[in-house]
Chains A and B, each alone.
Chain A
């Protein structure tokens, strides 16, 4: 997915196909083909029999033909299961109900949202060939034809993922109907055509049956696993997007680790149930979205692809204003965010033609937005950020947060602290900015998709105390990011308050008035390393403040900008982002953020021990920035993420994100470098010298580009130009 995996140069056999009793595969029209050695045989239904046998011998009871009516929950924990054959007490419950997982999740008193939806899925069974297929004939997958073909009792089993899926059971409660689903030959026609195109010799083969067997799909084509954010002990493994047989083994392993250890042994955030919330649970949303997801199974996944269905669910109050100014939108956690603004008179490519792994059509547009951020001032609507308020009557809030966060939060009121929310292993569960609003209340800003996960983490870790309250205020504030050297001028003119660094140093937060609106939380951070301010505006003032900012900003050359510009600015400044670069297996020590960890802040915090140990023993991977040296932006394939990193010709890790830096006029890739022992492959400590004394290359789709590695961002290049005199002068100009 996403990255540019190198095509495996497979031995494409001639027209006749392999000699092993396989009917001729027509390969004349193929560009690339590959054979995956061990994927050819997946255990089918037979696997179940073995599992049954093994489990029984381990003392596991299996109840067949038993239906679960609901799961009983007490004090937010699973206590048992009600079935039609009585109550079963349990500590853990795993909802593996496939396409009924959604309904089962909603059957209890405490609903668990498992967003998935079934689509009809057809596969064809034939009578055996005259010369039956051998058992070792591999499964043939033809993504262009949208089909798979495999041996089935000497005949063919072939199905596929059509362009026009038929979602079903949207209303739910159709367990019984699944046995009466009809074959739909007209619907199967395109797949049958591509089967016969690929294997023309099958024309004379006799049909046995066309099976209609619904499969469940999720809103982002990734399966759903993990613990429910609301009910402890309630685990889910469902929504396998038709790949259940292939993924089953690994998914089962991670889920078992999760239940036993409390976390799996790999980063599974992309699959975590908590990436979804109630907002993805609408049946209409799911029905529409899975119709887009299912055809994607066979489509080429290009970088920066946005789903087109289920959109405009959560929007900023400024949505219409921005849209009218040429905004192009992407979606994160249901929230519409601006990618960039298409200037009037400029046309972009059609959606389908814009799919590329090369330089995208928005290159110049984003470039001019970045330029404006560097030289004047830009405004970016960043309302999607997750925002919590934590407050208490006494100092419970401070105490609890000090325990949950690695940085020292006992700062003077009005300070903003950037800190990680770590797990026991020191890994990032969340990366956030926290402003101390008062002695006893804090304002916490986290990435958009943290809304459910972070909430669950706080709920689980904060003490049960009626004097300590947390509130999700995401919807209450519109966030505008004013980036650029002239942001200070705009704000001071609008507020009649001095905004210079002397009066408003960076990482500072103040409630003030902007235009007519009072109570705007202004923070001197921009999430990019550029000078500027974040404005947290109560939503009823959003339009007013935006209009004021735009009007006042005119003389400073203000313009709208989008997230792509933000991303470019952030990556060239070596800012890691949670969810892309950082995950639960990355510690602050590994990504150069020791300064955000206060090991001696006078009290214990989660992950402290692990970090102490890392501090003493060193780290085994290191977040590094690479600047591509000989990469031609116009001609070469772009890095997106997931590209292999080579040090002195040896593989040392993968990139996690990348962007074109308009300032450096180079591509910048961020990624983790490991030190693997040349002989044993054992992981060794990564030292600064190890990083600095290597020759690096980044492999983009098989082509290696020289890269310069850096552990700290450029400083001289980005020296902040102070404009103290001008600022002060402009302050008087309004008189």
Chain B
């Protein structure tokens, strides 16, 4: 029943395989597999006819292809088989509830669809735009501004985003962070990473000045100006702890004073590594405050990828850890759009990355290192912040968990040790940094988590954003010329073009526009409202099956300034 091959991704929105294949609470599908020793009272309910009904519920949003679940089931089967005991620990009641809920949903005859205004309010709930202020009627920055947006699939969303202007050095920092096994790590990284980068970039004198100010209790020079959506929050409780770690970092930088000018690439790498190190240390040391103690542990045991861009004049650096992606939108001379990758995905699809992991561990582990395209058969990204389960020794993990708070001990995930775990660390937060000199034809940069890239090809992303930013006027005009065209054909063509245009005008934010396409695109590459509405009407528990959290930042460049500098 479940063995059919997966249908085309673009046609049928398969749920992206979960980033981390650890039995977390919301995973319920393995229960359908015979390999799972599911509680007996549950089985009669979902057996026989019920199964097909549930499955069609899952797929109701689109085609009746059962196959679209198959990859997931298959994964689940293999993945969970060795860890039956965790599934057995599941609380059956919860699963029961979830199934009942799903069934209720399917048995409701009239389908509830969102209206276009409702769809818009969902899509626009998290949108944010920033325009670089002009001086004297001129914007001297190479960045015109940026649009960003998020669409949750997880509840709560596990993606984070950050944007800030460096005040003590020049340049702007923008980043997207994709958390897994919870949002704690992504949250911490989104709050802290830019400070680490900014500090790494600061010249010696400024560091001294800041240290002196802290020492004497004077007002601190502001380092970053944040550009935040009201929903983007910083944790107040941990700020003192985070600040102390940061201060230790700059004090070390002061002591180390190499006297050389700071190289951006090096600064980015150092900042990434240092922050990951601090996260790890804070978890090991713990905190007397029980709330904070639990927080630092949650941060360390969860994980996050990061894709950060630093723009200063024509110098664009992208530091990437994990499988979020940065893409440059380039306008060719004929007005068409092309995409240039500015980051490499750190996952099993990247051969160099697989190679790297293999060279870092003994030959004996070669087979167990990457399984089902996952690190140790578990983790999709091959680099990440946090995830101390893949970094610490088994002894350290046990010690920390045992001495940790009860909540930690209750959590099956933290207790469990990855299989074939012989030579940690298996995971690093060190980024790959790509430097690019901006040219006038480089019009925009898209930073997005894999939720976007799973559903859209980068070429389409470049075209959609490009056409959005330049306005639809760049749509090639139609000329009949000598061709034989009937009124009916022309009418069809024009109606289609108009539909395209109207979808552009609905959005004031390039990221929102991109999300609209990512979620609502039909086979023709135009937004299908019905489909969009169905996708957004999915109940919380189902949403994650059909899409991942999506976070997008679109940075628009100022071609005039870039042209003048270069």
Flag the segment in B36-44, B326-334, B450-458, B473-481 that touches A: B473-481
Check if A185 is an interface residue, CB within 8 A of chain B.
Answer: yes
CA distance A185 to B479 in the complex (A): 8
B85 to chain A, nearest CB (A): 63
CA distance A643 to B263 in the complex (A): 86
Cβ contact within 8 Å between A193 and B491: yes
CA distance A205 to B478 in the complex (A): 18
Cβ contact within 8 Å between B478 and A186: yes
Contact with A along B106-139 (1 / 0, CB 8 A): 0000000000000000000000000000000000
Q: Pick the residue among B475, B484, B493, B498 that contacts A206 (CB under 8 A).
A: B484
**Which chain A residue shows the least CB distance to B484?**
A206
For B493, the chain A residues whose CB sits under 8 A away are: 185
Cβ contact within 8 Å between B487 and A183: no
Check if B213 is an interface residue, CB within 8 A of chain A.
Answer: no
Q: Pick the residue among B477, B495, B498 that contacts A182 (CB under 8 A).
A: B477
For A543, the chain B residues whose CB sits under 8 A away are: none
Check if B356 is an interface residue, CB within 8 A of chain A.
Answer: no
Q: A207-B480, A209-B480 are contacts. A185–B487 as well, Cβ < 8 Å?
A: no
Q: A204-B486, A206-B485, A207-B485 are contacts. A189–B477 as well, Cβ < 8 Å?
A: no
Q: A186-B478, A207-B480 are contacts. A192–B486 as well, Cβ < 8 Å?
A: no
B483 to chain A, nearest CB (A): 9
For A210, the chain B residues whose CB sits under 8 A away are: 480
Q: A185-B494, A189-B495 are contacts. A126–B487 as well, Cβ < 8 Å?
A: yes
**Which chain A residue shows the least CB distance to B497?**
A186
Contact with A along B399-413 (1 / 0, CB 8 A): 000000000000000
CA distance A188 to B495 in the complex (A): 11
For B488, the chain A residues whose CB sits under 8 A away are: 196, 202-204
CA distance A417 to B495 in the complex (A): 66
For B487, the chain A residues whose CB sits under 8 A away are: 124, 126, 192, 195-196, 202-207
Q: Pick the residue among B477, B490, B501 that contacts A207 (CB under 8 A).
A: B490
Cβ contact within 8 Å between A183 and B494: no
**Which chain B residue shows the least CB distance to A202?**
B487
User: Which secondary structure characterizes the binding site on chain B?
Assistant: helix
Check if A630 is an interface residue, CB within 8 A of chain B.
Answer: no
For B479, the chain A residues whose CB sits under 8 A away are: 182-183, 185
For B494, the chain A residues whose CB sits under 8 A away are: 185-186, 188-189, 192
Check if A184 is an interface residue, CB within 8 A of chain B.
Answer: yes
CA distance A203 to B490 in the complex (A): 9
For B497, the chain A residues whose CB sits under 8 A away are: 186, 189
For B501, the chain A residues whose CB sits under 8 A away are: 186
CA distance A192 to B477 in the complex (A): 16
Cβ contact within 8 Å between A185 and B486: no
B452 to chain A, nearest CB (A): 29
Give residues 146-187 of A contacting B (CB, 8 Å).
182-186
Give residues 207-245 of A contacting B (CB, 8 Å).
207, 209-210
CA distance A124 to B491 in the complex (A): 13
For B478, the chain A residues whose CB sits under 8 A away are: 183, 185-186
Cβ contact within 8 Å between B477 and A185: yes
For A186, the chain B residues whose CB sits under 8 A away are: 475, 477-478, 494, 497-498, 501
CA distance A54 to B170 in the complex (A): 80
**Which chain A residue shows the least CB distance to B483?**
A207
CA distance A78 to B82 in the complex (A): 104
Cβ contact within 8 Å between A185 and B490: yes
CA distance A206 to B485 in the complex (A): 6
Cβ contact within 8 Å between B477 and A184: yes
CA distance A183 to B490 in the complex (A): 13
For B495, the chain A residues whose CB sits under 8 A away are: 189, 193
For A185, the chain B residues whose CB sits under 8 A away are: 477-480, 490, 493-494
Give residues 255-292 of A contacting B (CB, 8 Å).
none
CA distance A192 to B491 in the complex (A): 7
For B498, the chain A residues whose CB sits under 8 A away are: 186, 189
CA distance A296 to B478 in the complex (A): 28
CA distance A184 to B490 in the complex (A): 12
For A205, the chain B residues whose CB sits under 8 A away are: 486-487
For A193, the chain B residues whose CB sits under 8 A away are: 491, 495
A9 to chain B, nearest CB (A): 32
CA distance A247 to B31 in the complex (A): 82
A378 to chain B, nearest CB (A): 45
**Which chain A residue shows the least CB distance to B480?**
A207
Q: Which of B478, B485, B495, B497 has the most CB of A within 10 A?
A: B478
For A206, the chain B residues whose CB sits under 8 A away are: 484-487
**Which chain A residue shows the least CB distance to B478?**
A185
Contact with B along A481-525 (1 / 0, CB 8 A): 000000000000000000000000000000000000000000000
Give residues 96-144 of A contacting B (CB, 8 Å).
124, 126
For A188, the chain B residues whose CB sits under 8 A away are: 494
CA distance A196 to B490 in the complex (A): 11
Q: A186-B498, A206-B485, A207-B485 are contacts. A192–B490 as well, Cβ < 8 Å?
A: yes
CA distance A384 to B372 in the complex (A): 84
For A124, the chain B residues whose CB sits under 8 A away are: 487
**Which chain A residue shows the least CB distance to B475?**
A186
**Which chain B residue shows the least CB distance to A210?**
B480
**Which chain A residue shows the least CB distance to B479?**
A183
A179 to chain B, nearest CB (A): 16
CA distance A182 to B478 in the complex (A): 10
CA distance A202 to B487 in the complex (A): 7
Q: Which of B478, B490, B495 has the most CB of A within 10 A?
A: B490
Contact with B along A684-713 (1 / 0, CB 8 A): 000000000000000000000000000000
B470 to chain A, nearest CB (A): 16
CA distance A451 to B477 in the complex (A): 47
Q: Which of B477, B479, B491 has the most CB of A within 10 A?
A: B491
CA distance A469 to B339 in the complex (A): 75
CA distance A195 to B497 in the complex (A): 18
B473 to chain A, nearest CB (A): 10
CA distance A126 to B478 in the complex (A): 17
CA distance A204 to B489 in the complex (A): 8
CA distance A183 to B483 in the complex (A): 14
CA distance A708 to B279 in the complex (A): 97
Besides the known contacts A188-B494, A192-B491, 4 further A-B residue pairs in the complex with CB atoms under 8 A apart:
A185-B480, A185-B493, A189-B497, A192-B494
Name 25 A/B residue pairs within 8 A (Cβ), A-sorted: A124-B487, A126-B487, A182-B477, A183-B477, A183-B479, A183-B480, A185-B490, A186-B494, A186-B497, A186-B498, A186-B501, A188-B494, A189-B491, A189-B498, A192-B487, A192-B494, A196-B488, A202-B487, A204-B487, A206-B484, A206-B485, A207-B480, A207-B486, A209-B480, A210-B480
In the A-B complex, list the 6 residue pairs whose CB atoms are closest, starting with the nearest.
A203-B488, A189-B494, A185-B478, A207-B485, A205-B487, A204-B486
